[in-house]
């Protein structure tokens, strides 16, 4: 379009009537689930790239829902958080989320004021930028780390997700990776998880019970990030039955940041009869906390 205003198409009464069609409802649910998963995955990955403030996942999804509601009313494509621009911001030295807001403002300004200039940029140059940024995100060291500490399953999920993103489509890759991750933790979902913290003799005790999986990462992060600063923390896993690699990496990243800031953390491993990978995981936690 020659201007942004020409591209805006407000909904009609017929548009709202179409919302009851099964095909529209199914497409809406698919986009909502996949876009939300992609946003959460991207936010979790970005949190591992810096030592600043952690993502508030509920706030992130609420904002995305408001944004997508407005996009639908204006006839625009749905939005989602992605890893490429955030990683580029961090590599360029960005420290806060203002960088992401400014990223949107620069694009809006260029599209509104200098569309002819944008048309002069070769698509091959844009593709090259995406390829280089994407390649930097593929860490073979991380894959080896997954295999050494969590076994073959997470590596297989990673490989299948990357392959499907490259060979098919981003949404297909994310959806398949999400489905495989659910299958991985499905046998343990029947065990009720509990993440509790309390103060005992001036120390903060964080107790993990049951099976802690990727679905519990927001609750785990909220508990860990909400602990009082400067206090000694004991992470107690004596009643823990299972800890998937996503939750384990979340704890590991928190340990790295907190011990770097000078906090003292003690690790109490689960009983030997629990899941076979729990003991090596807690040994690694103890080494990182030392």
pTM above 0.85, yes or no: no
**How high is the pLDDT of residue 122?**
93
Whether 173 contacts 164, CB under 8 Å: yes
**pLDDT one-digit tens code per residue, 204-228:** 999 988 888 888 888 888 888 888 8
Q: What is each CA distance from 37 to 31, 60, 208, in whole angstroms? A: 10, 11, 25
Query: Would you put residue 265 in left (φ > 0), alpha (ψ -120 to 50) or beta?
Result: beta
Beta bridge partners of 268: 236
Mean pLDDT of the chain: 85
Higher pLDDT, 53 or 251: 251
Half-sphere exposure of 205 (CA within 13 A, CB side): 11
**How high is the pLDDT of residue 55?**
83
Q: Cα–Cα distance between 24 and 221 in angstroms, integer?
A: 35
Give 91-119 as a DSSP string: HTT--STHHHHHHHHHHHHHHHH-HHHHH
**pLDDT one-digit tens code per residue, 84-114:** 788 888 888 888 888 888 988 998 888 888 8
In the chain, what are the domains?
A: 4-113 (no CATH), 138-187 (no CATH), 194-289 (3.30.750.24)
Beta bridge partners of 234: 205, 266
Helix (H) or strand (E) holding 166, with range, is: helix 152-167
Most confident range, picked from 85-89, 151-155, 286-290? 151-155
Give CA torsion, residues 278, 280, 285, 288, to 10 deg.
Answer: -170
Q: How does residue 164 score in pLDDT terms, banded at 50, 70 and 90?
A: very high
* Region 121-138 average pLDDT: 85
Stated length of the chain: 290
Q: What is each CA distance from 204 to 232, 253, 270, in whole angstroms? A: 6, 19, 18
Query: Do the strands 265-268 and 233-243 form a parallel or antiparallel pair, or are they unpaired?
Result: parallel
Token match 């580029």: residue?
88
**pLDDT one-digit tens code per residue, 195-206:** 888 888 888 999
Query: Do the strands 203-212 and 233-243 form a parallel or antiparallel pair, or are they unpaired?
Result: parallel
C-alpha angle 10-14-15 in degrees, rounded to nearest 5: 50
Q: What is each CA distance from 73 to 13, 15, 39, 59, in whole angstroms? A: 12, 10, 21, 21
Token match 């489905």: residue?
179
To 10 degrees, what angle do helices 245-260 and 217-225 make? Answer: 10
The proportion of the chain whose per-residue pLDDT surpasses 70, expressed as a percent, equals 98
């Amino acid at each position: 379009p020659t201007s942004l205003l020409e591209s805006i198409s407000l909904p009609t009464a017929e548009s709202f009537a179409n919302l009851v069609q099964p095909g529209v409802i199914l497409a809406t649910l698919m986009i909502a689930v996949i876009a939300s998963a992609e946003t959460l995955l991207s936010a979790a990955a970005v949190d591992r790239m810096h030592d600043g403030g952690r993502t508030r996942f509920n706030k992130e999804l609420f904002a995305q829902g408001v944004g997508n509601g407005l996009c639908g009313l204006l006839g625009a494509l749905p939005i989602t958080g992605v890893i490429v621009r955030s990683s580029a911001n961090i590599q360029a030295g960005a420290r806060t989320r203002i960088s992401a807001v400014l990223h949107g403002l620069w694009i809006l300004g260029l599209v509104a004021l200098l569309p002819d200039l944008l048309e002069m940029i070769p698509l091959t140059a844009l593709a090259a930028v995406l390829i280089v940024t994407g390649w930097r995100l593929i860490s073979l060291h991380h894959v080896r780390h997954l295999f050494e500490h969590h076994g073959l399953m997470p590596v297989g999920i990673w490989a299948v997700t990357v392959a499907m993103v490259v060979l098919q489509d981003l949404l297909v890759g994310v959806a398949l990776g999400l489905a495989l991750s659910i299958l991985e933790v499905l046998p343990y979902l029947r065990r009720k998880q509990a993440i509790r913290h309390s103060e005992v003799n001036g120390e903060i005790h964080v107790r993990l019970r049951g099976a802690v999986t990727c679905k519990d990462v927001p609750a785990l992060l909220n508990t860990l990030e909400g602990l009082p600063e400067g206090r000694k923390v004991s992470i107690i896993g004596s009643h823990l039955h299972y800890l998937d690699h996503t939750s384990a990496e979340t704890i590991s990243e928190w340990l790295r940041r907190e011990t770097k800031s000078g906090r003292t953390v003690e690790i109490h491993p689960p009983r030997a009869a629990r899941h076979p990978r729990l003991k090596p995981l807690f040994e690694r936690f103890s080494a990182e906390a030392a």
